[in-house]
Amino acid sequence: MQKRALIFDLDNTIYAVRSIGDKIFAPLLELIAADDEQSLQMDKIRHEIMRRPFQMVAKDFNFSEELTSKGIELLSSIRFDGEIEPFSDYEIARTLPLDKFLVTTGFTNMQQSKVTGMNLDRDFKEIHIIDPSSSTKTKKDVFEDIIKRHNYASPEVLVIGDDLHSEIKAALELGISAVLYDKMNVYENDIPVPRITDFAELADYLG
Ligand SMILES: [Mg+2]
């Protein structure tokens, strides 16, 4: 079906977290490395911190309650000052003449500083930051709300993101089509959705 709306993820979909990650997460990684239980698996933790919301990483690696709450406290105050370079092919996505929505999970201050750092306000009809430290909402809730308020049929919407367990899963549960944007080439081929590595390929999925 002809698409009317695109819903984008932010981190590792519009820009590479790695491009700002070492700087932005330095104090957090220092905090984790000072923890005896976690210090031995820093490589794995660093990798996940660049990819997924902190609360989920903390849970998966069994961070203590104290380490988790210290991490949350630290991250809620961090913002990135300066410009951020989006992926070069983002320019193609940016100019598509459809309604575009940005839905991202993370700390409000930090996510907002990224939106500002890439001047994304001009590109999106709506920008939604879901902050797990102050909200129990999920991406699925927000997608559902967008569809209802704008009277889209589910098949008229396409979700684009890099996380199979977050936005892609939420989309499929709602009957929305989804495309995995795998710029980092981290996924094997046996995934349940089409995979693109460049926004030029999006044209094939717009109806
Ligand atoms: Mg992402």
What pLDDT score was predicted for residue 53? 86
The residues whose Cβ lies within 5 A of ligand 1, an ion, are 9, 11-12, 162-163
151 band by pLDDT with thresholds 50, 70 and 90: very high
The mean pLDDT value for 91-104 works out to 97
What CA–CA distance (Å, rounded) separates 191 from 195?
A: 8
Residues 6+ apart with CB under 8 A from 132: 53, 55, 105, 106
Instruction: Supply the pTM of this predicted model.
Output: 0.92
Residue range 72-88, pLDDT digits in tens: 999 999 999 989 999 99
Quote the ligand 1 centre to 150 CA distance (angstroms).
24
What is the overall mean pLDDT for the chain?
A: 95
Nearest to 181 by CA among 198, 165, 206: 198
What CA–CA distance (Å, rounded) separates 142 from 187?
A: 26
Output phi, psi for 130, to 5 deg: -95, 115
What pLDDT score was predicted for residue 10? 98
Is the pLDDT reported for residue 168 higher than 90? yes
What is the β-pairing status of strands 99-105 and 157-161?
Answer: unpaired
Quote the ligand 1 centre to 68 CA distance (angstroms).
21
Output phi, psi for 173, to 5 deg: -65, -25
Residues 6+ apart with CB under 8 A from 85: 15, 19
Residues 6+ apart with CB under 8 A from 36: none
Q: Domain residue spans in the chain?
A: 5-15+83-205, 18-77
What CA–CA distance (Å, rounded) separates 30 from 71?
A: 10
Quote the ligand 1 centre to 36 CA distance (angstroms).
29
List beta partners, residue 160. 8, 179
Which residue would you say has higher pLDDT here, 108 or 207? 108
CATH number of 5-15+83-205: 3.40.50.1000
135 band by pLDDT with thresholds 50, 70 and 90: very high
Quote the ligand 1 centre to 11 CA distance (angstroms).
4
Quote the ligand 1 centre to 10 CA distance (angstroms).
6
